[in-house]
A and B are shown apart, each in its own frame.
Chain A
Amino acid sequence: MAAPEPTRKNTVLIVLAASALAGLWLLDFSSIQPNRIVPGISQNLFAAAGTALSVVLSIMLAALVLLGLWSRSRRLVAAVVIATAGLCLLPWLLVSVSLNQLTDDQPSARIGLGAAFWLLLFLLSLMLVECWQRVNLDVHWRLIAMAAVIGSWSWAYSSGQLEALGLLREYHSRSGQFHQALRQHLLLVGGAVGCSLVLGFALAVQILRRPRWQEPVLNVLSFFQTIPSLALFGLLIAPLSYLSNQWPWLQQFGIRGIGWAPAVLALIGYSLLPIVRNTWVALSEVSPGVVDAARGMGMSPAQVFIQVRLPLSLPVLLEGVRITTIQAIGLTAVAALIGAGGLGTFIFQGLGQAANELILLGALPTIGLALLADGFLTAAIQWLRQRHLSTSLTAQATAP
């Protein structure tokens, strides 16, 4: 019989779980506001959601600390299960807060989310990722865990008991605006990334052909990146207003000093560097021997480019698109300041009105979009890499 695997301390898990436990006891979980204006009364989890659920959650976190102290790969699977369960439990804590704290005579009362809630959400997610990476959990199980969490949240949402959340109240009172802002945001990001992809690609191919241009072009593009985003948005207002005053028909297309035009221009300015640099590096790193052979076999220049250079540089090229997209999603939020619309509108409105929930209504979807884009493009890049290039593992097995 094999000796049992020795236990080891997993310091990361211990620290995360212990911090979550401490936060749960010491910080406010939620607050109750009678209406949007009056400041709320904060409560910790015990006061807000009742003893039973609080004790359950505390026990789960304590178990995670213990698993961290004596960890083994089997036990870390248990930690994955517990962390997933914790994330599934979170919305139901809010449901419990709503049931315990709100009475029917306060129709406009709202629940605010406190530091303990965010801390739990954040730390439980970190623990989940830490543990599944440690045990190298199969992708299918990871997806099942994520589906469980999303399912639990959707279920809690559809129960109607979360309606009192300030965030949802803000959403419902302006859902039309929200969807429009989301559309604008996606359009701005998509337009800017699309334009920079086309432009950047053309530029990269040009500097590949004319090496003398390479330094000036990259220098100018790096210079763009050093200008703070607000300054660049601001700097574009003057020339664009001048243009639209000179040729008023431009205004029909929405080209003015403020609005989407300066926003898209600035976004393109920022997006070009990662795209040009990655495309250029990717294309120039294709092995000269491969290109020489392709030409020598009688492929036409177009065939060499489309069938050989492009597919071989696609992973690095997509990496540029990934950086650009994430960057553009964030920058578009700032572009709301010059009237470009998008999710940033809520952030700046919320800042003006000191309405935290409104800020979150803009900020959370922005973060969500960035994470989504990141996850999707990273997966695509990895798939491409694995498909053709990292087959060296099997090489040792088959080569004599």
Chain B
Amino acid sequence: MIELIGVSKTFNGRTAVDAIDLTIPKGSICVLVGTSGCGKSTTLRMINRLLPHDAGIIRIDGQEIRSFNEQKLRQQIGYAIQSTGLFPHWTVERNIGLVPRLLRWPKQKIQDRVEELMTLLDLDPAIYARQYPRQLSGGQAQRVGVARALAGNPETLLMDEPFGALDPITRDNLQNELLRIQAQVKKTIVFVTHDIDEALKLASQIVVMDQGRIVQVDHPEQLLRHPANAYVENLFGSQDRGLKLASLFPVRSLFETDTPIQANGLKAPGSGPEDCIEATDSLRLALSKMLWAGASEMPVVDANGQVLGQLTLEQILRANGK
């Protein structure tokens, strides 16, 4: 758990972070959003003391961070940034093993950990371990960056726009992978982004910042339904927030609350993925498929292609408008 109480930061008389209070529960993903220069990175960098805070208290698991040795603290907090910050003169393997080496783990344990993480992040150790960062694509380099942040097995992970420089497809892949990894390892993650869709997709808690202040802290659904002011409403797209909301819920969630309709256990009649809706699709994707097909209802299938039932337009409207 991370607690910030009345935390402020001033640069040459200009306040970058203004007396913010924030509690980040253990095992959650807290996403900081807001316009450029609103103090997201500054907040993040105060947590691992890359910037000293001028006022207030920052606690990790109840301990004020100033009571730790600065380097020891950072070794126990993962850190990933947009530019990856990989050391160009070190191999992938050596980059990932940095924190374990700083923590003086035994050699074999470090090597095992590096291989484990590379496998976790879908990088074949046989191919990539000995390569240098320049030899990697942007997506691979960022995977290495994330692996390096996880290497010391930290409880807390700070990520500053880690996927900001990637193309949309690679970004989407890495977001999915972060969620997959998080389901396995359950870290406390503080994630900075200015991409609202990314925030909605990843966050268990979104913190909206404006000019150094926290404007609203809420779950994605609550933020979309009840924005605190015009700034938040604007940031989250007053026009298409219906669609953004629909993207929060998987089709599966409807079938858990409503009883599945006509579960007949037959193979899906159509062949292509456009002809049926997968249970893991979001309501937004389901809606899009229906719009494309010009159909007001479509079959829903599970991962094996078993039909779970029929999804209707009304169901989507009811779920979203709740």
Interface residues of A (CB under 8 A from B): 287, 289-300, 303, 308, 311-312, 387-389, 391-392, 394-395, 398-400
Contacts and interface: CB of A to CB of B under 8 A. Distances in A.
B88 interface: yes
B305 to A, nearest CB: 29
Residue of A296, A395, A399 ringed by the most chain B CB atoms within 10 A:
A296
21 contacts: A287-B83, A289-B83, A289-B84, A290-B83, A293-B85, A294-B87, A296-B48, A296-B85, A297-B74, A298-B72, A299-B71, A299-B102, A303-B102, A391-B132, A391-B134, A392-B134, A394-B135, A395-B136, A398-B135, A399-B137, A400-B137
A396 to B, nearest CB: 9
Contacts of A311: 89
Given A287-B85, A298-B99, 9 more contacts: A289-B81, A290-B88, A292-B50, A295-B74, A296-B81, A298-B74, A398-B135, A399-B136, A399-B140
Interface string B81-111: 1111111110000000011001000000000
Given A295-B74, A298-B75, A298-B99, A388 B89 contact: yes
B89 A312 contact: yes
Contact of B135 (A289, A300, A395): A395
A296 B86 contact: no
A311 B127 CA distance: 25
B85 A290 contact: yes
A297 B98 contact: yes
Contacts of B127: 398
Contacts of B76: 298
B202 to A, nearest CB: 21
Interface in B37-81: 48, 50, 71-76, 79, 81
Given A399-B135, A399-B137, A293 B72 contact: no
Nearest to B91: A388
B89 A293 contact: no
B81 A293 contact: yes
A389 B140 CA distance: 18
Contacts of A391: 132, 134-135
Residue of A295, A298, A311, A388 ringed by the most chain B CB atoms within 10 A:
A298
Nearest to B85: A293
A292 to B, nearest CB: 6
* Interface magnitude class on chain B: 20 to 34
Contacts of A290: 83, 85-88
Residue of A294, A297, A299, A389 ringed by the most chain B CB atoms within 10 A:
A297
A297 B83 contact: no
B65 to A, nearest CB: 13
A300 B131 contact: no
A294 B84 CA distance: 11
B85 A292 contact: yes
A297 B148 contact: yes
Contacts of B137: 399-400
Contacts of A293: 79, 81, 84-87, 145
A290 B131 CA distance: 18
Nearest to B137: A399
B14 to A, nearest CB: 19
Contacts of B87: 290, 293-294, 308, 312
A298 B73 contact: yes
A292 B140 CA distance: 20
A297 B75 contact: yes
A389 B131 contact: no
A289 B136 contact: no
A298 B71 contact: yes
Contacts of A400: 137
B148 to A, nearest CB: 7
Contacts of A297: 74-75, 79, 98-99, 102, 148
A303 B84 CA distance: 19
Contacts of A398: 127, 131, 135
Contacts of B73: 298
Nearest to B70: A298
A340 to B, nearest CB: 40
B89 A389 contact: yes
A296 B50 contact: yes
Contact of B71 (A300, A387, A389, A395): A300
Residue of B74, B75, B87, B99 ringed by the most chain A CB atoms within 10 A:
B87
B74 A389 contact: no
Interface in B133-159: 134-137, 140, 145, 148, 158
A32 to B, nearest CB: 60
Given A297-B102, A298-B71, A388 B88 contact: yes
A388 B86 CA distance: 13
A388 B135 CA distance: 10
B50 A295 contact: yes
A167 to B, nearest CB: 47
Given A296-B81, A298-B74, A395 B134 contact: yes
Contacts of B132: 388, 391
Given A293-B85, A298-B75, A389 B50 contact: no
A291 B82 CA distance: 13
Contacts of A287: 83, 85
A297 B84 CA distance: 12
Contacts of B148: 297
Residue of B79, B134, B136, B158 ringed by the most chain A CB atoms within 10 A:
B134
The 9 closest A-B pairs by CB, nearest first: A293-B85, A289-B83, A298-B75, A298-B74, A296-B79, A399-B137, A388-B89, A289-B85, A395-B135
